[in-house]
C-alpha cells in the first residue's frame, strides 16, 4: 500500500495538483486531481481497492478508521525524493454510506524564482516589513497559503503566531494555534490570548466573517503585522468585501498595507509560476473599487501577462485564459 500511495502522490505532485479526490460512484471509485482550475479524472478503482487506500491514508493522518459517516480532518507530511509536501485530509460519508476523501496538497514555500516577476515578490516582502495588514486573495489552489507562509518565513528571530481553522502548513518555527469551538478556542479567544504574548507577526488563516475581520483590524491597529486571506474575485473585491464585513473605510486606510490577488499559471517550462495583481489604497479611489469589485483586473495585470507571452513564458492560449483573472 505504501507503493500505491507514493505512486498516487508523486503523480499529483509532478503536475502540481492542488487536491486529490477519492470519490464514490455506483460500483467503483474515481480518483481525480484538481489541476489548473479544473477537475481532472485520473483513474477508477474498485470499492475494495479504494477503501484500502482511504484507510491507509486516514491511518497516516491520525484519523478514526471506524468513523465513515461524520466529517473528519487529518494531516500528514509526505516526503518524496525531492521535497516535503503537507497533506491536509478531509473525509465524509456520502448519501448511500460510501466514504469520500479529499487531500489538499500544500507545497513547500517558494522563493522569488517561483514567481514570474521577482520585483512583485520584493514589493510584497517590503509591505510585510510595515505594521498593518497584508491580504492575499485568489481561487482555490492558487497558492495563497504557501505565499503567505513564504513571506512570514523570511523574517528571522521574530515571534510569529498563526490562528487557523484548520492549520494548513506545519511550521515548527511558528507558534500555531488551531480554532476549536467545541473547546472554547474560538478566533476571538485565541487572539485575546495571543495578544498577551506580544507576537511580531500574526497569520490569521482566513477572514471569513465580521468577527474575524474585526479581530484582524484590531490586531493591526495595536501595532502588529497581520497576514490573512480573503475570498474575492480580484484585488478590488478584497476591499469591498471588508467593507461589507463592517470594517470602516477609515480603518482600512489606516491598516491595509497591500492587497495581493494571485493565480498559479501554467508556463512553457516544467513548472507553473505565480503572477500577482497588487493594489494599495494609494493607487485607487473608493469609486473605482465599487465599480470594479465584481470583476476586472488592474492594467498592470494585463500588461504583465502580455509581457509573459511576448517573452515565451506562456502561450497565447494561456494569456487569454487568465486575462480576466
What distances in angstroms separate CA 95 from CA 46, 71, 92, 182, 285, one per listed residue? 19, 13, 10, 26, 49
Residues 225-236 have pLDDT tens digits of: 999 999 999 999
* Least-confidence region, from 116-120, 180-184, 281-285: 180-184
Grid cell for residue 3: 507503493
Name residue 35's beta-bridge partners.
38
What mean pLDDT, rounded, does the chain reach? 89
pLDDT greater than 70 at residue 301: yes
pLDDT digits (tens, 9 = 90+) for 124-156: 999 999 999 999 999 887 888 888 988 898 887
Question: Structural domain boundaries of the chain?
Answer: 2-106, 112-322
Task: Kindly tell me the sign of the dihedral angle through the C-alpha atoms of 67, 70, 71, 72.
Answer: negative
Going by pLDDT thresholds of 50, 70 and 90, the confidence category of residue 307 is: very high
Give the pLDDT score at 81.
67
Give the helix ranges, DSSP H, for 154-260: 187-195, 210-221, 235-244, 249-255
Whether 112-322 and 2-106 are alike in CATH topology: the answer is: no
**pLDDT: is 180 or 322 the higher one?**
322
Please report which confidence band the pLDDT of residue 191 belongs to, taking 50, 70 and 90 as the band edges.
confident
* CATH dotted code for 112-322: 3.40.50.300
Instruction: With a cut of 80, say whether residue 36 has pLDDT above it.
Output: no
Exposure letters 4-32 (e unless 16+ CB within 10 A, then b): eeeebbeebbeebbbbbbbbbeeeebbbb
Q: What is the chain's length? A: 325
Q: What percent of the chain has pLDDT over 90?
A: 51
Does pLDDT of 108 surpass 80? Answer: no
Return the minimum-mean-pLDDT range out of 22-26, 152-156, 191-195.
191-195
How would residue 181 be classed by pLDDT, with cut points 50, 70 and 90? confident
pLDDT at residue number 21? 95
CA distance 185 to 193: 10
Per-residue confidence (pLDDT) for residue 128, from 0 to 100: 92
pLDDT score recorded for residue 110 = 59
In this structure, are strands 72-79 and 84-93 parallel, antiparallel, or unpaired? antiparallel
**Which one is the CATH code of 2-106: 3.40.1190.20, 3.30.450.90, 3.30.450.20, 3.20.20.105?**
3.30.450.90
Burial profile 33-59: b = 16 or more Cβ within 10 angstroms, e = fewer: bbbbeeeeebeebeeeebbebbbebbe
Tell me which H or E stretch contains 160: strand 160-164
**10-21 pLDDT per residue, tens:** 999 888 888 999
Q: pTM score, two decimals?
A: 0.81
Q: Which of 39-48, 65-74, 109-118, 230-239 has the lowest mean pLDDT?
A: 109-118
Amino acid at each position: 500500500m505504501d507503493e500505491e500511495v507514493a505512486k498516487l502522490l508523486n503523480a499529483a505532485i509532478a503536475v502540481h495538483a492542488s487536491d486529490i479526490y477519492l470519490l464514490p460512484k455506483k460500483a467503483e471509485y474515481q480518483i481525480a486531481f484538481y489541476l489548473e482550475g479544473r477537475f481532472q479524472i485520473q483513474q477508477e478503482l474498485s470499492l475494495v481497492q479504494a477503501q484500502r487506500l482511504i484507510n491507509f491514508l486516514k491511518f497516516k493522518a491520525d484519523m478514526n478508521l471506524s468513523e465513515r459517516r461524520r466529517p473528519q480532518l487529518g494531516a500528514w507530511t509526505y516526503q518524496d525524493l525531492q521535497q516535503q509536501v503537507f497533506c491536509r485530509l478531509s473525509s465524509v460519508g456520502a448519501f448511500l454510506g460510501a466514504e469520500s476523501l479529499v487531500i489538499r496538497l500544500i507545497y513547500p514555500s517558494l522563493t522569488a524564482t517561483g514567481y514570474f516577476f521577482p520585483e512583485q515578490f520584493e514589493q510584497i516582502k517590503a509591505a510585510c516589513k510595515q505594521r498593518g495588514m497584508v491580504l492575499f486573495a485568489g481561487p482555490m489552489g492558487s497558492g495563497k497559503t504557501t505565499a503567505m507562509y513564504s513571506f512570514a518565513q523570511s523574517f528571522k528571530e521574530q515571534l510569529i503566531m498563526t490562528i487557523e481553522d484548520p492549520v494548513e502548513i506545519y511550521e515548527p518555527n511558528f507558534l500555531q494555534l488551531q480554532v476549536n469551538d467545541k473547546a472554547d478556542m474560538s478566533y476571538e479567544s485565541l487572539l485575546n490570548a495571543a495578544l498577551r504574548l506580544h507576537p511580531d507577526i500574526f497569520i490569521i488563516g482566513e477572514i471569513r466573517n465580521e468577527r474575524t475581520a474585526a479581530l484582524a483590524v484590531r490586531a493591526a491597529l495595536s501595532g502588529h503585522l497581520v497576514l490573512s486571506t480573503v475570498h474575492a474575485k480580484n484585488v478590488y473585491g478584497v476591499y469591498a468585501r471588508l467593507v461589507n464585513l463592517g470594517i470602516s473605510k477609515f480603518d482600512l486606510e489606516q491598516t491595509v498595507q497591500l492587497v495581493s490577488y494571485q493565480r498559479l499559471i501554467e508556463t512553457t517550462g516544467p513548472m507553473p509560476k505565480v503572477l500577482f495583481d497588487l493594489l494599495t489604497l494609494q493607487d485607487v479611489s473608493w469609486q473605482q473599487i465599487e465599480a470594479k469589485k465584481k470583476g476586472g483586473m488592474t492594467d498592470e495585470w494585463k500588461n504583465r501577462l502580455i509581457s509573459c507571452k511576448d517573452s515565451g513564458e506562456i502561450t497565447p492560449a494561456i494569456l487569454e485564459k487568465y486575462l480576466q483573472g
